[in-house]
Structure 1
């Protein structure tokens, strides 16, 4: 099948699934219980509660300014896809008969956030945004000294303060839990269950470490040339060492650490999470991208 057609079908399925999940979160959990989320969805829910305007119309209208910004901040293709997503979500909210699942506040805050996060994450994997708060943050970033995270946090603080004033502090606090749950679900959907971790290993047994990583774990490695030593009592003494760099999934971190520890109990390792990795030996998983 043509690669572009395959990509289009895959992205379309992501977007459709994302819309259905978001619709379920809104009509099955959040709207019936007067709960909120962060971002543009939270603003839309606030407007819906305060002015009693149909949530389907509010979500489309609230996203329009950000879609226009997105045309300039990202590109016109992204803006058009996001506009289509917003319209389809509005149609979904109007015509899909989702049932109200529960009125238990804790269940609403957790599972409403989970389904909302899954929906937004799937839409992002499809190349559009069902909640365009990041576009607004990017726009503001160029006109202030704040980071994107700080801008998004500030916007959400305002949303939850207004929610606390109009609907009470308990509802606002539960809604913060909804927002947190949604943000974690978004990260899980975008990064996947096999989130990548970068590992650096400094060992006197680097040759054996390299062999085990490649032959037993099947990992690609990169070698940096460094020096070790420089101790307090022998600062002038140092010797060359190979610094081994590799990328593993988080499920493989423990196995890799145990393997290195068996080879060299004194080995120094440090890890950090990376948002995306592709190419090299990772091309075996290309079907997931």
Structure 2
């Protein structure tokens, strides 16, 4: 069942990316980053099919990914790239939904971000530059994100030479919108936050969080590094919308408590899910 679900979402994500490209971006001379952006420019310059460039240019990186990342990722990526290539080929003659460049860059970026996010969330990719970034990051001090950003800025900047500089700027708008939507698609709109509270009144805070927010909480004893006094360390996972309530709970019981809040990108097991409050 998981296998079927995975490939359904890979198909949907790749198809949505194809819709974004052929219905919004390509007709308005707006490009995406990575291999897709290079393919759009090459297709424009040579008049050869975009789908063929997307597929062929990604193949060398798939071989590289097989050696560096693993079989499962490469198979999912190969399938997503194949579906994307077929989608843009099938939609090549479809009319653009809008000729307004700003609307095309915004809505194209949103749909593209959802499509790419679905593919990444289900174990694949549609761009060989990410594989290159993983390899380069292993031999340099740069992170994968920094390398991908550098490559894409160079590619998006090239759009100014192939098309016009205003199209390059619209392409940047599309890229940053897609980037944020990819994060939302992968992480979900209702982001979870991990909260750690160092306090002298852990039991009162734990009881109130459980009663008011319906969240399971863990706490243990700690010792202050400077004062050497005993402290309670409270750990909870709450939604982004519950952060303000949690801060108020902490202030009620211990105004001197030390609180740190971090993004949670994934959770597995445990009893951190919200319980019903009666």
From 21, 25, 48, give the equivalent of 2:16.
21
- Report the CA distance between 1:282 and its aligned residue: 4.0
1:271 equivalent in structure 2: 261
Q: Which residue of the partner structure matches residue 47 of structure 2?
A: 52
Question: Are the counterparts in 2 of residues 196 and 277 from structure 1 also a CA contact under 8 Å?
Answer: no
C-alpha change, 1:168 and 1:124, in structure 2 (3 Å) is same
Give the structure 1 partner of residue 120 of structure 2: 124
Aligned-CA RMSD value: 2.1
Partner of 1:42: 37
Distance 1:153 1:61 in 2: 23
1:204 maps to 2:200: yes
Shift of 1:46: 2.0
User: How far did residue 115 of structure 1 move?
Assistant: 0.6
User: What TM-score, normalized to structure 2?
Assistant: 0.90
Q: Matched residue of 1:211: which SS?
A: helix
Partner Cα distance (2:221, 2:45) in 1 = 62
Whole-Å separation in 1 of the counterparts to 2:175 and 2:85: 21
Is 2:241 aligned against 1:251?
Answer: yes
What residue number does 1:153 align with? 149
Runs of 4+ in 1 over 6 A off after TM superposition: none
Contact 1:201 1:243 in 2 (8 A): yes
Deviations 1:50-84 (A, max 9, x none): 22221111111121112111111211222122112
Q: Deviations over 1:18-72 (max 9, x none)?
A: 0221111001111101101112221222222222221111111121112111111
The total of aligned residue pairs comes to 274
Shift of residue 185, structure 1, vs aligned partner: 0.8
Q: How does 1:86-97 map to 2 (within 5 A)?
A: 86-96=81-91
Q: Secondary structure at the match of 1:32?
A: helix
Q: Which residue of 2 aligns with 1:281?
A: 271
Q: Tell me if the contact between 2:237 and 2:272 (Cα under 8 Å) persists in the aligned partners.
A: no
Q: Is 1:74 the counterpart of 2:64 in the alignment?
A: no
The whole-number CA distance in structure 2 between the counterparts of 1:9 and 1:76 is: 18
1:227 deviates by 3.6
Distance 1:142-1:238 versus aligned 2 partners, 3 A rule: closer
Report the Cα offset of residue 131 of structure 1: 2.2
C-alpha offsets along residues 71-99 of structure 1, whole Å, 9 cap, x if unaligned?
11211222122112211221122224643
> Are 2:199 and 2:256, in contact at CA under 8 Å, matched by a contact in 1?
yes
How far apart, in 2, do the equivalents of 1:148 and 1:155 lie?
A: 11
Q: Distance in 2 between matches of 1:217 and 1:161?
A: 48
**TM-score, normalised by the number of residues in structure 1:** 0.87
1: CA distance, partners of 2:7 / 2:95: 25
Q: SS of 2:271's equivalent?
A: helix
- Which of 105, 108, 119 matches 1:109? 105
For the residues of structure 2 that align with 1:168 and 1:33, how far apart are their CA atoms?
A: 11
Aligned to 1:260: 250
Separation in structure 2 between the aligned mates of residue 51 and residue 283 of structure 1, nearest angstrom: 54
**Could you tell me how far apart the structure 1 residues matched to 2:83 and 2:161 are?**
32
Deviation for aligned residue 1:224: 4.1
Q: Indicate how the Cα distance of structure 1 residues 108 and 156 shifts in structure 2: closer, same or farther if over 3 A, else same.
A: same
Question: Structure 2: how far apart are the matches of 1:171 and 1:93?
Answer: 20
**Structure 1 unmatched runs, 5+:** 1-5, 231-236
